Structure 1
Amino acid sequence: MIRVLVVDDDFMVARIHTGFVARLAGFEVVGARHTGRDALAAVAELGPDLVLLDLYLPDLFGLDVLAQLRADGEDCDVMVISAAKEVDAVRRASHQGVVDYLLKPFGFDDLRDRLERYAARRDLLKAAELEGQHDIDRLLGRRTSTATQPLPKGMSVETAQVVERVLRDSEGTLSASECAEQAGLSRVSARRYLEHFTTTGQAEVRLRYGTTGRPERRYRWGS
């Protein structure tokens, strides 16, 4: 179980967030606090794995709470949940190593998606070795195209993830035929997903010219 501490100055909001977390398998709310100082004391007492941290607290700014946690040697993860949209706040949060930053107001699905990604990254940390770039990107919290871009009708998330992983792990460029062979797909199917990734800007295509015929389209992850 991932043990979660909810920190929000609004009692009702804290109750709602607690209810959201309680609905998720694998997560357990160990407490809720409403001030920065109470949050610091609760982390020391309860030892949560993850703190859902509001920034606008009545006594301390949330990121100052985070800084104090690190100064105290607490290694719990922190996910910011706040209405703060200032660039400086987001930049500071990023520099201080928060695992995610979720703007209020939000619904259950928004929090669920982020917590599930967080749980998946925690599972990767238990591995002695990562399989490739795809796992490293997941560990660092980088979203893949299949999570951020809607797929056209007739395309599946599972197949898109397979093609994406093959492309990410390639040391150079791949043709549709080479990608299809590694992914276990037909060339037509692989080409369709590859072209989707180029359309969404997640991949780029380069033309390789031969002595005769049409140039070969070769794909590379990243733009």
Structure 2
Amino acid sequence: MITVLLIEDDPMVQEINRQFVERVEGFKVIGCAANGKEGVELIKKEKPDLAFVDIYMPNQDGLTTIKQIRSEELGTDVIAVTAASDMETVRGVLQLGAVDYIMKPFKFDRIQQALTNYKTYHQSFLKRDSISQQELDGLLFHQGRQDKGELPKGLNALTLDKVIDFLKNQDEATSAEAVAEGIGIARVTARRYLEYLEQSGKVEIVIEYGGVGRPVNQYKLVRG
């Protein structure tokens, strides 16, 4: 379970963030803070994996808070969730190593995308002592940076990531129907994503024959 701390001064936004985070499998909110100073103290006490940090807050703003998290080497990753859209703030937050930057107002899908990407990032670093350049490139450029314009019409990067994540967790080749049920989409939609991944060289087709001899396509992620 990935633990999350919310640092947000608006109680309504804080509650929305909590509900959104806990809708994503594998994440749990373990605390909330109304300002940066309180947030840093909670990080020291609870040691969460991840903190959602607002920028505009009383009693220590978000930028100062992230600087303190880094200067004290607290080890908690940060996602900025804020109304701040000026380039100076955005650049400052990213330079301090935030793993994502979400602008208010936002929808659940954006939070889900951020947490799905973070889970991949987090688990990859837990599982190994070293990493190859190819694997690192995959992590760095997978974090929500895929250009949706490169996908065929009707496909989107978030659902594509869900399909890939589902396939990663399968030991054997699986059907389009199983993928559809696993992530909650229509079978015809799942087949479109699987065909795209097969054409991209990321999925291989394993043909199996049913009881009446009809070939059935099964899909397996190509592991490089």
Return the TM-score normalized by structure 1: 0.67
Of structures 1 and 2, the larger Rg is shown by 1
Change (3 A) 1:35 1:165: farther
User: Does residue 88 of the first structure (1) align with residue 124 of the second (2)?
Assistant: no
- Structure 1: 5+ residue runs without aligned partners? 167-182, 186-223
Query: Residue 121 of structure 1 contacts residue 138 of structure 1 at CA under 8 Å; is this kept in 2?
Result: no
Give the residue type in structure 1 aligned to 2:66: L
What residue is the counterpart of 1:71 in the other structure?
Answer: 71
Change (3 A) 1:132 1:13: same
- Structure 2: 5+ residue runs without aligned partners? 155-188, 206-224
| Identical-residue share of aligned pairs (%) | 30
**How many angstroms does 1:74 deviate by?**
0.3
Aligned to 1:156, the other structure's residue is in SS state helix
Aligned to 2:145, the other structure's residue is in SS state coil
**How many angstroms does 1:128 deviate by?**
4.8
Aligned to 1:19, the other structure's residue is in SS state helix
Alignment of 1:1-223 (within 5 A): 1-125=1-125, 126-128=127-129, 130=131, 133=134, 135-140=135-140, 141=143, 143-145=145-147, 149-152=150-153, 156-161=192-197, 163-164=199-200
Change (3 A) 1:142 1:120: same
Give the residue type in structure 2 aligned to 1:8: E
Aligned to 1:79, the other structure's residue is in SS state strand
Query: Residue 53 of structure 2 contacts residue 81 of structure 2 at CA under 8 Å; is this kept in 1?
Result: yes
**How many angstroms does 1:163 deviate by?**
4.9
What residue is the counterpart of 1:194 in the other structure?
Answer: none
RMSD (CA atoms): 2.5
**How many angstroms does 1:43 deviate by?**
0.2
Change (3 A) 1:70 1:87: same
Change (3 A) 1:165 1:136: farther
